[in-house]
Structure 1
Amino acid sequence: MDRFVFECVPRWSDMDVYGHVNNARFLTLYEEARVALMFVAARKHGVTSLEEGVVISRHEVDYLRPVDYGETVRIEMWVEEIRASRFVIAYELFDEGALASRARSVCVPFDLVAGRPRRLSPQERAFLEPYVLA
């Protein structure tokens, strides 16, 4: 299994009144990492169909410690599960090397034109499989 690693610096607008990254903004950081995996990394592997539509049917977030504004955070992601018409992305967010949050997102490939969920293609599955936790 390979973990996909994404680093970013939280923005000033991510900060709450206490000087920490706001809890809702954790989902934005996770989204940025997920987009980097499904759009940028997938495209490098010749898979562009994920860009055509993936919706989130569920998020779970555990907040383990505050994250201060301005510090680079590292998000490590992997695929927890792949099914015919959904897959689960798991995340760990590290701040200064310390685990600050864990999360999961249930992702559903979606046909935006037809307005309904669709099955993963063999190419999408092949792209995701190296990230599956064994």
Structure 2
Amino acid sequence: MFTTTVTPRFGDADGLKHINNIAISEWFEEARNPVFRIFTPDLNLSYEKWKLILARTEFDYLAEMYYGEDVEIRTYVIRIGNSSFTIGQEARQNGGLKAKGQAVTVHYDFLNKRSVPIPDDIRKKLQEHLITEDQK
């Protein structure tokens, strides 16, 4: 599991100090970078080096989050397929689960415009961060 701490920005909040729903999408995207580094360590976005494409995201907003209090984003793998894998994420503030989400990501060859199998060495690294529902 990877953990990222986010300090909400003033612009992430509304007049009641509630965090806007769009902030979760941005925070979760940023917190996926350690997983992306497994595939592309330098995060180089060239067609020759970048190997991932986002296929689907979903978010569940469970409770309000507030400006002025750090948010812990937990990122882990919940499923590994042949050419795709699913990333699970949680946003926690003051110890409470406030939002959760998933992102289906595909190992992709941009030059040939097709998905490709996840190599065994990368699969092993993903498995190190695999957490099933009963392990949470």
Q: 1:31-110 alignment to 2 at 5 Å?
A: 31-39=29-37, 42=38, 47-48=39-40, 51=43, 52-110=50-108
TM-score normalised to structure 2 length: 0.81
* SS of aligned partner of 1:20: coil
CA-based RMSD of the aligned residues comes to: 2.0
% identity of equivalent residues: 29
- Structure 1 distance, partners of 2:104, 2:111, is 21
Q: Structure 2 stretches of 5 or more lacking a match?
A: 44-49
How far did residue 57 of structure 1 move?
Answer: 1.2
1:1-23 CA distance string (max 9 Å, x none)? xx221111122232235432211
More helix by share: 1
- Structure 2 distance, partners of 1:75, 1:35, is 12
1:59-81 CA distance string (max 9 Å, x none)? 12110111112321111122111
TM-score normalised to structure 1 length: 0.82
Number of positions where the alignment pairs a residue of Structure 1 with one of Structure 2: 126
**Which residue of 2 is the match for residue 12 of structure 1?**
10
